[in-house]
Chain A
Amino acid sequence: MEVKSFLFKTYSILSTNDGQQNIKLNFAKKVFMSEIEVLERTAVQVRRDIIRMVNGVKSGHPGGSLGCADFLTCLFFKIMKHHPAKFQMNPPDEDIFILSNGHISPAYYSVLARCGYFSIKELGTFRKLHSRLQGHPSVAENTPGVRIASGSLGQGLSVAIGAAEAKKLNSDKNLVYVLMGDGELEEGQVWEAAMYASAKKVDNLIAVVDYNGKQIDGPTDKVLSLGNLKAKWQAFDWEVLEMDGHNINELIDTLNLAKSRTNKQKPIVIIMKTEMGMGVDFMMGTHKWHGNAPNDEQTRIALAQLTETLGDY
């Protein structure tokens, strides 16, 4: 059996993510790949999806999407307890993920599809009329995996806190994860939420900041400097971890460390260092691809840098 076909099976098993560790490892062994390699290859496919999705409609936000591909892959394929095949809006027994920086929807949709929330074919409908895959995530279309609309920035941490508080009331021991952009931290609501979470000891929550240092108008340092971001979160009495958002080993280790630090009276934030546009050389080192789609020639160049691993949609 060729490797690609094996990989397909591997990921379809991975996608169930219900404690089937042995099966996952067995498949990985058969294709002579470590779990880390499998995740790395998945992230590469997610990056291909992102480029093809935004190119398909000549719009969207590839920069931050590429930067968060590794993190979202690790979270959905390895870290979270969730049930893609039987999505429930109000889940009684699983972790919840809230995407606050909704503009990285291409990465979000790709990961959701690749782990089984909906068909990967649907990725081709991104941003098109009557699609469930709206430019920014929406629940109005009943998109499996999406539990709150986002796009207007600064709101996701509050929503995640609400979901976490509800879990506490329900004696539900699962966790809530939320991803925010760093430019998004310029919104005041984030700090209202930050103050609340520590004051009220919302300790079943793991927030992640995509710290790429760039936003639409330029480097965050020039637009509105975040200053000492770690010190800010510490001053708000959060437990602060840091990680390299492109090192799968480190992502998994740090996320597991964060999990082990939950239920200790403090909310947890991970400042995740990433590179906007990661994986496509001409999109890295600049803010210019925050909200611009590549043309067909640029797409050809980008895809040549991203080997197809799981099969394009």
Chain B
Amino acid sequence: MKEIKIFDHQDTRSGFGAALLELGRNNKNVVALCADLTGSLKMDAFAAEFPERFFQVGIAEANMIGIAAGMTLGGKIPFTGTFANFSTGRVYDQIRQAVAYSNKNVKICASHAGVTLGEDGATHQILEDIGLMKMLPNMTVINTCDYNQTKAATIAIAEHIGPVYLRFGRPKVPNFTAPDQSFIIGKANIINEGTDVSIFATGHLVWQAIDAGHKLAEIGINAEIINIHTIKPLDEEAILKSISKTKCVVTAEEHMRNGGLGDSIAQLMARKLPLPLEMVAVDDRFGQSGTPDELLVAYGLDAEHIVNAVEKAIRRK
């Protein structure tokens, strides 16, 4: 297992905020909308420097999505910001009709996704958002793993024409991907090449997968670890290539099993290459209050659970 250098610990949402400011400076068509969570979304720097391009809509997310869709008619590239729950579930029909079906160039940027939102509890911890968004035709779905990648992804989606759902989170987590990375939508990143199992992870669980990779190496298991930052479109080629080599799979995500990354990979494998598959994901239940680290353990999403899933998958080979 190769050593992965940690630059620092930062929250992924700060990567979004930093990139949004950069976009503001480089692209006059970039506009930002927020539903009363400017500080939480780290959009304050953009709002301060470009007040004429920052739209505070108040606690009215449905209106925010509609306004964003309308702004594209003037050639604008709107970035909406609020928590993942209010970015998706609360406004599903607005996104469906005015953004996805209408194929508008809106970037729905969602923080505080998953259980690592922490103490606020289940009302705010959406675990269904990837599923909701990936079911929409025209929608691209991205879930980044650290600060640097979130920053790179934010820049990249401004160049992509079409609706995008960009999912990131609240807590400070290891920042380990390259600061100068080129983010290619739909292209998986191989973090560690291995031969015994393919671990496909997304979002915060990429680091947990790396942690698991070290633990597995200690017991003689050589894991291939791949960061699937783009859930839709899925990098089928990279996934199938890895699976052909390792012959068993573990998926890891901070999301419901139903509708998540594992679900997408299971569908792909069922069609193209059926092999043992274990999914590390939330098992059809709501979240609860707790610290992010406690919740990762309680919901079976930490490195230890990934190790267990790998052992199970290998046994099924």
A-side interface residues toward B, CB under 8 Å?
89-92, 96, 98, 138-140, 147-152, 154-167, 169-170, 172, 188-189, 192-193, 195-196, 199-200
Chain B's closest residue to A172 (CB) is B74
Task: Check B66 against A193 for contact (C-beta < 8 Å).
Answer: yes
Chain B residues lying within 8 Å of A166, measured Cβ to Cβ, are 31, 70-76
* Top 5 closest pairs, chain A to chain B, by CB: A162-B70, A166-B74, A158-B66, A192-B60, A162-B67
Task: For chain B, residues 45 to 72, give those with C-beta under 8 angstroms from any C-beta of chain A.
Answer: 52-53, 55, 57-58, 60, 62-72
The 0/1 profile, CB within 8 Å of A marked 1, for residues 238-270 of chain B is 000000000000000000000000000000000
B62 touches A162 (CB 8 A): no
| Docked CA distance A160–B73 (Å) | 9
List 10 additional contacts besides A152-B97, A164-B70, A170-B75; criterion CB under 8 Å.
A90-B72, A140-B102, A157-B66, A158-B65, A162-B66, A162-B67, A165-B71, A166-B71, A167-B74, A169-B74
B67 contacts A158, C-beta separation under 8 Å: yes
Band of interface residues on B:
20 to 34
B120 located at the interface, meaning its Cβ lies under 8 Å from any Cβ of chain A in the complex: no
Inter-chain CA distance A165–B94, complex, in Å, is 19
Q: Is the interface of B mostly helix, strand, loop or mixed?
A: helix
B10 within 8 A of A: no
Do B94 and A196 have beta carbons less than 8 Å apart?
Answer: no
Is A155's CB under 8 angstroms from B71's CB? Answer: no
Q: Is the CB of B53 within 8 A of A169?
A: yes
Name the CB-closest residue of A to B138: A140
Contact of B76 among A169, A192, A193 (CB under 8 A): A169
Contact B73 A193 (CB under 8 A): no
Given contacts A139-B103, A149-B97, A155-B94, contact A90 B66 (CB under 8 A): no
Residue contact B58 to A196, C-beta cutoff 8 Å:
yes
When the two chains form their complex, are residues B103 and A140 in contact, meaning their CB atoms are under 8 A apart? yes
Question: Which residues does chain A contribute within 8 Å of B69, judged by CB atoms?
Answer: 148, 158-159, 162
- List of A residues within 8 angstroms of B101 by Cβ: 138-140, 149
Contact: B60 with A155, CB < 8 Å?
no
